[in-house]
């Protein structure tokens, strides 16, 4: 009975940290345990479930793991370089969790500044294709009567090395005349876009933290 109690952990409703059942305050944020807290059995882990698989099951797991290790980087690089919106989606997910961590940080403004700068640089480095929304500002660079086009130039500067470069051009509707947009303008616009997006994500999480804190204070006052 005692061992079963020791396996139980309660989940903090403020930061979702899993704490030992005997702790009355969250080890991560200090929030009180409360009467109606959610609990979880820490012994019921995914590793124990995998341990029950037989030899054939483990063979499939190992083969699947090797295939994922070999193919995943290739597919990921191609998707990031060629599929519009894929890198934007990945960075949006990463930025969402990064902004939440930064908003909860005790370092305050320095942590927020580091997140925004790092997030913007990652956007410039990774999200070169952009997406329909992010590439709209580039359309304003094009002259009237032209449209924005994106192509991928593949080059092999060294043996066993492949480079994929994004090229944005302003071309006529018949494709007779094409003017390439300078790389500096593209990188500058992308950096500014991700700075704005990072600020929006930070603002959302700070607002969410304030809302949760007010709700906790209100519930404690009612008690």
CA distance 40 to 35: 15
Whether 33 and 94 map to the same domain: the answer is no
Whether 205 and 119 map to the same domain: the answer is yes
Tell me what pLDDT residue 194 has.
96
Tell me what pLDDT residue 2 has.
45
Whether 105 and 23 map to the same domain: the answer is no
Whether 41 and 132 map to the same domain: the answer is no
At 219, give phi and psi (nearest 5°).
Answer: -65, -35
Tell me what pLDDT residue 20 has.
86
Tell me what pLDDT residue 4 has.
47
Domain limits for position 176:
83-222
Cα–Cα separations (whole angstroms), residue 174 to 122, 138, 148, 177? 35, 19, 13, 8
Binned average pLDDT, 10 residues per bin, the chain of 223 residues: 60 84 84 81 61 77 91 86 89 95 89 95 91 90 85 78 81 77 91 96 93 76 63
> What number of other Cβ atoms are within 10 A of residue 35's Cβ?
6
Whether 119 and 207 map to the same domain: the answer is yes
């Amino acid at each position: 009975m005692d061992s079963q109690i020791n396996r139980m952990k309660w989940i903090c409703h403020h930061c979702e940290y899993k704490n030992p059942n005997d702790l009355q305050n969250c080890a991560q944020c200090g929030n009180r345990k409360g009467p109606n807290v959610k609990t979880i059995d820490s012994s019921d882990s995914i590793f124990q479930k995998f341990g029950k698989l037989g030899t054939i099951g483990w063979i499939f797991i190992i083969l699947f793991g090797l295939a994922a290790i070999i193919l995943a980087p290739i597919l990921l690089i191609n998707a990031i370089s060629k599929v519009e919106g894929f890198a934007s989606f990945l960075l949006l997910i990463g930025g969402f969790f990064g902004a939440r961590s930064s908003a909860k940080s005790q370092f305050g403004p320095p942590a927020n500044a580091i997140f925004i700068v790092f997030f913007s640089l990652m956007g410039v480095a990774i999200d070169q294709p952009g997406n329909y929304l992010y590439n709209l500002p580039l359309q304003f660079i094009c002259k009237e009567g032209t449209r924005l086009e994106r192509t991928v130039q593949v080059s092999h500067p060294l043996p066993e090395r492949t480079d994929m470069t994004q090229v944005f051009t302003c071309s006529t509707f018949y494709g007779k005349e094409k003017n390439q947009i300078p790389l500096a303008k593209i990188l500058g616009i992308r950096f500014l876009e991700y700075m704005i997006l990072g600020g929006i994500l930070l603002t959302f999480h700070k607002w969410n933290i304030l809302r949760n804190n007010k709700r906790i204070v209100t519930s404690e006052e009612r008690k």
